[in-house]
């Protein structure tokens, strides 16, 4: 048995790792029985759900089945105006007058109810957005609750957070969030804002409004004074209306760099405060001294988490030439074990692409990559007939000049390049218009610190990837945005600037 | 480390323990239900090395164990039988006679199990005696003291000598990972054992805690995978100690399936060293079929 090395001869050893071969996992769908979804959802303004003034609605669908889930009110300028007016009134008359400790109690209450209703929220998130239940259950919802818990704790300690400056809130915040982490982004925006004493008008993405509306129910049930949190649903026009409203003091936006630029232009000279969290094209640098198997796991986590719909995704793999063959071969093997399919199945690794439009965009990049001369690799995993799907994909032999290396794809597509020296790796990592995040893989501690300090990005991970915590600031360099969310920096963004003595 | 017989890679790769634990946690999140579960439970039974390794073991005790191996549960005669019965060398003959013609192997621990603190000549003699008495498989322990002192050449020679003494019998090399301290050492010992002639690598004696933890097993599976991809040789794996529930066993099978692939879901390449696992698996099989959990008293010792 052990002396057969010579006789193995011609066929290269191959692992049988596919999902449809031999012992296969039976479907293990999460039950949706106890999740109550209404057929129609209104706007949440001044503590109540109301229809849009002009009665318009839009549909939100399940991207895994393409079936409609609910009708949602479409907010026009008039509705946004009502929401901002409610937020202003709540700010002036109630929220800014309340003892900070009382404010904190409300925020804690939201956090606790999020935990209590976590299962329902996780299922709703997966139904509406297509992300695997494993992620909505283990990442999105617990982190959303953690953000409320974290900022609740600061509500009555602002003078300790920023000593000697008499911390004061900004007023009314207009917040626009994306579809990739619907509830989590709502938590990132709302928790620091209201804990610091602001009131908010939040606009969720049009493809994923449901968990934000469930959050509205939670906020109502938690007894928050009407108008402190208002949620207006709609598409880009509604978002523009929130951002441009005269009576908004602060704008917080998470989304594409393209829209971020429009917002910054629109806000120029308006006197509004703003933070923008935009796109990214992060490099994951794997050095020859890395723990290979754990690095491969980190690469998978970096790009295939949430179908690659992650602004800080490690969408560029830079691997040192001396270990490139081994890393890429192991990566392909690992990818073969990824299960694409029903987001509600507990074994699903990669769920549905969020929308038809996003799938079109990804598929366009798949064509562009091939036309540019990169070598595509996709796994053999079967995908369902209906719904929007994309198998995990590599572009091997990608080059710095390729669009698939320079532009954000926002899908499960990884561009793979090699480098020779540490300096070359760092230069390639920095050669991008973006600067949101990055990863470094090396078993040498000193090297990891030296390299991370030379990469121009807001968030750097060493020997891990996509780790989030409410205490850690998050934000970008260059075209990845302006300002930080999370941690004390995230709280600071909702307070008046320091006044000269 | 300059001992690789294949010469392809003289060092073992570094292991990041935090990363290993994360991977294990993710593998443990697989949800195995219905047919997939029943299939896994049957497979688990067929992979068990039913074990008794007590100072108090007697012929009677071993005969009891062999009878259990032959008929796991009277109410379900169609179940697969276990892979092997594992005993001390002095009782190999008893087990061999009891299992005659059944297709169940007799495995014997040897090399001054569990400490391994005996002169090499005595260890080799013990191996030869066990094989003479009819052992189909020999479970040796490495000299952890020498390994931890950095004497890898001694460890390699020791394994190679035992392999020679085994003759036709298959050799399982016990690393006693609970005494090795780090996952890097587990990986190095695994590589060393495979390059020196192991047919199987095995985590533990069952006498030391921790035994077959999931991170340790994953690191060993990855070593087996890399060895296979480099040489084409399929080395087997045997976690032993600490795996007592069907749920644990299924988690191991998931880990095997996603690390080594379907080929290793086979009693020739994967074993569970366990004494109480079989009954929990039987109980789960009965539950899958009838929908009702039965009392442990409904299953034989």
User: At which residue do the structure tokens 């600061």 appear?
Assistant: A154
For chain B, list residues with pLDDT below 70.
1-10
Bridge-based pairing of strands A172-176 and A199-203 is parallel
The CATH fold of domain B17-290: TIM Barrel (3.20.20)
Interface probe for A, chosen from B257, B260, B267, B268 (most Cβ of A below 10 Å), is B257
Q: Report how many helices (DSSP H) and strands (DSSP E) chain A contains, helices first.
A: 17, 18
Q: How far apart are the first and last CA of chain A?
A: 82
ipTM above 0.90, yes or no: yes
What does the block give as tokens for A430?
Answer: 């920095």
Report the alpha-carbon distance of residue A467 to residue A415 in Å, rounded: 21
Per-residue pLDDT, A164: 86
| Chain B partners within 8 Å of A379 (Cβ) | none
Distance from the B297 Cα atom to the nearest Cα atom in chain A, whole angstroms: 31
Helix (H, G, I), strand (E, B) or coil at B251: helix
Does B57 participate in catalysis according to the annotation? no
pTM strictly above 0.90: yes
DSSP string covering B102-168: SS-EEEEE-SSTTT--S-HHHHHHHHHHHHHTT-SEEEEE--HHHHHTT-HHHHHHHHHHHHHHHTT
Q: What angle do CA B252, B258, B264 make, to 5 degrees?
A: 70
The predicted-structure confidence for A41-65, as pLDDT tens digits, reads as follows 999 999 999 999 999 999 999 999 9
What does the block give as tokens for A269?
Answer: 């000279």
Per-residue pLDDT, A10: 61
DSSP bridge pairs for A438: A283, A460
Distance from the A340 Cα atom to the nearest Cα atom in chain B, whole angstroms: 14
The predicted-structure confidence for A85-121, as pLDDT tens digits, reads as follows 999 999 999 999 999 999 999 999 999 999 999 999 9
Bridge-based pairing of strands A57-62 and A67-73 is antiparallel
| Chain A partners within 8 Å of B232 (Cβ) | 4-5, 8, 13
| Chain B partners within 8 Å of A328 (Cβ) | none
Q: What amino acid positions of A are annotated as catalytic residues?
A: 277, 311
Q: Do B19 and A463 touch (CB under 8 A)?
A: yes
Q: How large a percentage of chain A has pLDDT more than 90?
A: 95
Cis peptide before A318 (omega within 30 of 0): no
| Chain A partners within 8 Å of B39 (Cβ) | 23
Report the alpha-carbon distance of residue A175 to residue A275 in Å, rounded: 10
Report the alpha-carbon distance of residue B127 to residue B163 in Å, rounded: 9
User: Which residues neighbour B225 within 8 Å (Cβ) at sequence distance 6 or greater?
Assistant: A15, B259, B260
The predicted-structure confidence for A215-270, as pLDDT tens digits, reads as follows 999 999 999 999 999 999 999 999 999 999 999 999 999 999 999 999 999 999 99
Which DSSP category does A72 fall into?
Answer: E
Report the alpha-carbon distance of residue B87 to residue B85 in Å, rounded: 7
Report the alpha-carbon distance of residue B53 to residue B62 in Å, rounded: 10
Other beta carbons within 10 Å of A258: 11
Distance from the A119 Cα atom to the nearest Cα atom in chain B, whole angstroms: 16
User: At which residue do the structure tokens 């806000």 appear?
Assistant: A267
A17 touches chain B (CB under 8 A): yes
Report the alpha-carbon distance of residue A253 to residue A86 in Å, rounded: 21
The predicted-structure confidence for A288-330, as pLDDT tens digits, reads as follows 999 999 999 999 999 999 999 999 999 999 999 999 999 999 9
Q: Which element (helix H / strand E) includes B170?
A: strand B170-174
Other beta carbons within 10 Å of A317: 27
pLDDT category at A499 given cuts 50, 70, 90 is: low
The predicted-structure confidence for A245-254, as pLDDT tens digits, reads as follows 999 999 999 9
Q: Which residues of B touch A (CB under 8 A)?
A: 6, 13-16, 18-20, 22-23, 29-37, 39-40, 43, 163, 170, 194, 197-199, 222, 225, 228-229, 231-233, 235, 253, 257-258, 260-263, 265
Report the alpha-carbon distance of residue A456 to residue A424 in Å, rounded: 14
Q: Do B33 and A28 touch (CB under 8 A)?
A: yes
What does the block give as tokens for A163?
Answer: 């000593």
Q: How far apart are the first and last CA of chain B?
A: 46
Does B202 participate in catalysis according to the annotation? yes
pLDDT at A187 over 90: yes
| Chain A partners within 8 Å of B261 (Cβ) | 15-17
Q: How large a percentage of chain A has pLDDT more than 70?
A: 97
Partner B, chain A 141-180, Cβ-Cβ below 8 Å:
none
Report the alpha-carbon distance of residue A394 to residue A331 in Å, rounded: 10
Which DSSP category does A117 fall into?
Answer: T
Q: Say what angle helices B214-231 and B17-28 make with each other, to 10 degrees.
A: 100
> A115-119, long-range: CB within 8 Å, 24+ apart, which pairs?
A115/A142, A115/A145, A117/A214, A117/A218, A118/A142, A118/A145, A119/A34
Bridge-based pairing of strands B48-51 and A481-482 is unpaired
Q: Do B18 and A464 touch (CB under 8 A)?
A: yes
Per-residue pLDDT, B301: 83
Domains and CATH numbers, chain A: 40-278+479-492 (3.40.605.10), 283-470 (3.40.309.10)
User: At which residue do the structure tokens 């991970």 appear?
Assistant: A461
Report the alpha-carbon distance of residue A201 to residue A247 in Å, rounded: 11
What does the block give as tokens for A47?
Answer: 């503590």
Which DSSP category does A252 fall into?
Answer: E
Per-residue pLDDT, B1: 43
Structural domain boundaries in chain B: 17-290
A10 touches chain B (CB under 8 A): no
| Chain A partners within 8 Å of B34 (Cβ) | 26
| Chain B partners within 8 Å of A16 (Cβ) | 261-263
Cα distances (Å, whole numbers) of residue A477 to A232, A310, A453, B132:
30, 16, 14, 72
Report the alpha-carbon distance of residue B143 to residue B216 in Å, rounded: 18
pLDDT at A165 over 90: no
Which has more confidence, B130 or A3? B130
**Distance from the Cα of residue B182 to its chain's centroid:** 20
Q: Smallest Cβ distance to A16: which of B23, B222, B262?
A: B262
Distance from the B258 Cα atom to the nearest Cα atom in chain A, whole angstroms: 6
Distance from the A38 Cα atom to the nearest Cα atom in chain B, whole angstroms: 30
**Distance from the Cα of residue A70 to its chain's centroid:** 23
Q: Say what angle helices B34-46 and B246-259 make with each other, to 10 degrees.
A: 90
Q: What is the mean pLDDT of residues A335-342?
A: 97
């Amino acid at each position: 048995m052990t002396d057969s090395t010579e006789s193995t001869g011609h066929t290269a050893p191959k692992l049988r790792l596919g999902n449809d071969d031999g012992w296969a996992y039976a479907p293990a769908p999460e039950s949706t029985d106890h999740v109550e979804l209404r057929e129609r959802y209104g706007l949440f303004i001044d503590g109540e759900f109301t229809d849009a003034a002009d009665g318009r609605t839009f549909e939100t669908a399940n991207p895994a089945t393409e079936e409609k889930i609910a009708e949602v009110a479409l907010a026009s300028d008039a509705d946004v105006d009502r929401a901002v007016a409610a937020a202003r009134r709540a700010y002036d008359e109630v929220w800014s007058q309340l003892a900070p400790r009382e404010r904190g109690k409300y925020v804690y209450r939201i956090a606790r109810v999020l935990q209590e209703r976590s299962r329902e929220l996780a299922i709703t998130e997966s139904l509406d957005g297509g992300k695997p239940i494993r992620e909505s259950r283990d990442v999105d919802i617990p982190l959303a609750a953690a953000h409320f818990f974290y900022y609740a704790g600061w509500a009555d300690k602002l003078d300790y957070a920023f000593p000697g400056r008499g911390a004061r809130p900004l007023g009314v915040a207009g917040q626009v969030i994306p579809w990739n982490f619907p509830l989590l982004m709502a938590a990132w925006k709302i928790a620091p804002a209201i804990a610091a004493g602001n009131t908010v008008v939040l606009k969720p993405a049009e493809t994923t409004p449901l968990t934000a509306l469930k959050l509205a129910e939670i906020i109502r049930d938690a007894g928050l004074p009407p108008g402190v949190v208002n949620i207006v649903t709609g598409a880009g026009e509604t978002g523009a209306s929130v951002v441009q409203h005269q009576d908004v003091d602060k704008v917080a936006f998470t989304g594409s760099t393209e829209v971020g630029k429009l917002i910054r232009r629109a806000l120029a000279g308006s006197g509004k405060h703003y933070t923008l969290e935009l796109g990214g094209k992060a490099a994951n640098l794997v050095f020859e001294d890395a723990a290979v198997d754990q690095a491969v796991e980190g690469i998978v986590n970096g790009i295939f988490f949430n179908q690659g719909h992650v602004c800080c995704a490690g969408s560029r793999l830079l691997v040192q030439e001396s270990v490139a063959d081994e890393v890429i071969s192991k990566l392909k093997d690992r990818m073969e074990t990824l299960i694409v399919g029903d987001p509600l199945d507990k074994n699903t690794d990669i769920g549905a692409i969020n929308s038809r439009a996003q799938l079109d965009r990804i598929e366009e990049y798949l064509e562009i990559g091939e036309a540019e001369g990169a070598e595509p690799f996709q796994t053999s995993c079967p995908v369902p007939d209906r719904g929007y799907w994309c198998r995990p994909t590599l572009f091997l032999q990608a080059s710095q000049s390729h669009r698939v290396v320079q532009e954000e794809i926002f899908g499960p597509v990884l561009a793979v390049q090699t480098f020779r020296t540490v300096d070359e790796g760092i230069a390639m990592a920095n050669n991008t218009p973006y600067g949101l995040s990055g990863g470094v893989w090396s078993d040498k501690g000193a090297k990891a610190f030296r390299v991370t300090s030379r990469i121009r990005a807001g968030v750097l991970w060493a020997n891990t990837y996509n780790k989030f915590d409410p205490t850690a600031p998050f934000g970008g360099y260059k075209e990845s945005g302006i300002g930080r969310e999370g941690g004390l920096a995230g709280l600071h963004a909702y307070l008046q600037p320091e006044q000269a003595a | 480390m300059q001992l690789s017989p294949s010469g392809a890679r003289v060092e073992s790769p570094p292991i990041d323990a935090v990363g290993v634990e994360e991977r294990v946690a993710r593998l443990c999140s697989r949800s195995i239900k219905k047919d997939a579960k029943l299939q896994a439970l049957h497979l688990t039974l067929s992979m068990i090395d039913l074990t008794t390794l007590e100072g108090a073991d007697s012929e009677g005790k071993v005969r009891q164990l062999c009878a259990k191996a032959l008929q796991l549960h009277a109410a379900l005669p169609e179940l697969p039988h276990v892979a092997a019965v594992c005993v001390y060398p002095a009782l190999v003959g008893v087990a061999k006679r009891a299992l005659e013609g059944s297709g169940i192997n007799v495995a014997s621990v040897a090399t001054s199990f569990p400490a391994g603190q005996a002169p090499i000549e005595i260890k080799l003699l013990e191996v030869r005696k066990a094989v003479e008495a009819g052992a189909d498989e020999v479970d040796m322990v490495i000299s952890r003291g020498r390994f931890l002192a950095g004497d890898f050449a001694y460890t390699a020679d020791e394994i190679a000598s035992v392999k020679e003494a085994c003759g036709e019998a298959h050799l399982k090399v016990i690393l006693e990972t609970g005494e090795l301290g780090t996952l890097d050492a587990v990986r190095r010992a695994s590589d060393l054992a495979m390059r020196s002639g192991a047919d199987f690598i095995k985590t533990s004696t069952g006498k030391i805690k921790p035994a077959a933890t999931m991170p340790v097993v994953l690191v060993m599976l990855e070593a087996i995978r890399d060895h296979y991809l480099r040489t084409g040789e399929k080395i087997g794996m045997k976690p032993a100690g600490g795996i007592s529930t069907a749920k644990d066993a299924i988690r191991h099978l998931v880990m095997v399936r996603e690390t080594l692939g379907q080929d290793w879901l086979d009693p020739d390449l994967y074993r569970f060293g366990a004494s109480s696992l079989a009954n929990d698996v039987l109980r789960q099989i009965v539950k899958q079929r009838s929908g009702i959990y039965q009392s442990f008293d409904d299953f034989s010792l």
